[in-house]
Amino acid sequence: MSVVKFSIKICFIIALASSAYGYGATTNDLPQLLQLSQNRLNKTTINGMPSNDSRSLQLSSSTWLTGLPSISLSYLGDLDNSNIYEQEVSLNLPIKSFSLHRSDNKLKQLTNALLDQQVALQKLYLSGLLRQSMWEYRIASVKLEQLQRKASLLEQLYAQQKQLSDAGELPAVNILLLERERVDIDLIQIDLMQQQDESLALFQSLTGLSDIPIRIEENNHNIVDLDAQSINGADMVLMQHPLWQLQSLQQQLQDVIMASQQAGDQDPWTVSLTAKETAGDQFNDQHLGLGVNIPLGFGSALSQSELSVWQKDYQDHRINSESLYLELKKQSQKLTLQQHNLQKQHALLQRGVTLDRTITEDLAKVKDQNQIGYEIWLRRYMDALDTESHLALNQVAQQQLHSQQLQALGISL
């Protein structure tokens, strides 16, 4: 269960954002970025040992033997000096029963499926980190672009007001108000540039590339609206999640092992090939024999303590499965609700931009009459620019939620 618990924490490292704005110098396909990150991760070393240790691939089990063959040797001599002795050599082969052979085949299939799901979980984890780095960089870039637009307008306004102030037509405080606005912009820019640097550093450590791709939108997937799906439909979507699949396979593995133990399949059929010689002064008998020891499959081979442990593990697994499903569903529904809210905000922001422009134009007609009028106009002008920035970021956030939903549903790049 440790793999699942560790993976649950990993799974919810979810990336954000996407928009029509493009930044970067490369145009790598996102699946290629994921493959590149996988290759780099598999080549890393931890404590001097490869993370993809190949020794596990060298392990194998016998097809028809449950253990190693053994040889039994025995010698018996007389105690009355009659020169009679008996010696015996036996080769013992622990043969798998047919039911154990079928059980082992199931275990091999489940083990291979578990390995596949662990690879899928690794891909999902790396996809989350890649999405995080790319979308956070995109968000910071969009915000910087909007701030730069605001700063450029402030520079133009500052030049105009400076001429009027130098000519004595406007008070010097107007210039100070503009400088104060520029200080706030510079402070925000520092934080955004740090976010850009951190996101780029994460991307570079994952892929080894120097630039984030220009096109990072994931428009090739359809997001399932869980609110619009039946209960069975929602279950089918979430049960394809690598975490759910991994946990389900682990339980199937335990069930097969327990069923095999209960049926007594673990007890081998023992085939013995025996050579025996009995000799004395007057005779010498030699025999060859074949013996088979087959356990009888009556009742259960499990003790009550073993059965109790299995029942406890089964209940723990059931609770963990239910918790995982509810967590995945809650996360998906939360993101769907956020998507709906962003769509509502988009319409309101568009309306707000229109109103801000109208108000700013009206206030501009009286802004030069007095200082209070100028301050009101300047504040409304800055608010109008902020509203336009919020509208641009809302468009980014809607793409962000698309990527975030893909991650929550367990869909890799």
**Alpha-carbon separation of residue 27 from 164, 285, 365, 399 (angstroms):** 49, 86, 48, 18
Q: Give 312's pLDDT tier (boundaries 50, 70, 90).
A: confident
Which of 48-62, 133-147, 213-227 is predicted with the least confidence, judged by mean pLDDT?
48-62
Using alpha carbons, list the distances in angstroms from residue 346 to 150, 342, 350, 391.
Answer: 21, 6, 6, 7
pLDDT at residue 398 greater than cutoff 70? yes
Q: Between 129 and 304, whose confidence is greater?
A: 129
Exposed/middle/buried for residue 295 (C-beta within 10 Å: 0-12, 13-18, 19+): middle
Name the 3-class secondary structure at 316: helix
**Angle separating helix axes 2-11 and 242-262, nearest 10 degrees:** 170
Based on the number of CB atoms within 10 Å of its own CB, is 274 exposed (0-12), middle (13-18) or buried (19 or more)?
A: middle
For the residues 212-225, what does the mean pLDDT come to? 70
Q: What is the mean pLDDT of residues 334-360?
A: 83
| Rounded average pLDDT over 323-329 | 81
Residues of the chain above pLDDT 70, percent: 76
167-209 per-position pLDDT tens digit: 777 677 878 888 888 888 889 899 999 999 999 999 988 888 8
Top mean pLDDT of 89-93, 256-260, 330-334, 349-353 is at 89-93
For residue 375, the model assigns a pLDDT of 65
Q: What is the mean pLDDT of residues 347-376?
A: 72
Q: pLDDT band for position 247 (50/70/90)?
A: confident
pLDDT of residue 376: 67
Write out pLDDT tens, residues 45-92.
554 555 445 555 556 667 777 778 888 888 887 777 777 878 888 988
Strand 269-279 with 85-95, pairing: antiparallel
As given in the structure block, the two tokens for residue 10 are 């990993």
Is the model's pTM score more than 0.75?
no
Sheet arrangement for strand 85-95: 70-77, 85-95, 269-279, 284-293
Within 13 Å of residue 223, how many CA atoms lie on the same side as its CB? 23
In the predicted model, what is the mean pLDDT of the chain?
76
Report the C-alpha gap between 368 and 373 in whole angstroms.
Answer: 7
Residue 165 above 70 pLDDT?
yes
pLDDT at 167: 76
pLDDT at 25: 37
For residue 7, pLDDT beyond 90: no
**How far apart (Å, rounded) are the C-alpha atoms in residues 17 and 403?**
7
Instruction: Please answer whether residues 286 and 277 qualify as being in contact, where contact means their C-beta atoms are separated by less than 8 angstroms.
Output: yes
pLDDT digits (tens, 9 = 90+) for 265-307: 667 788 888 888 887 777 778 888 888 877 776 666 666 776 7
* pLDDT score for 223: 54
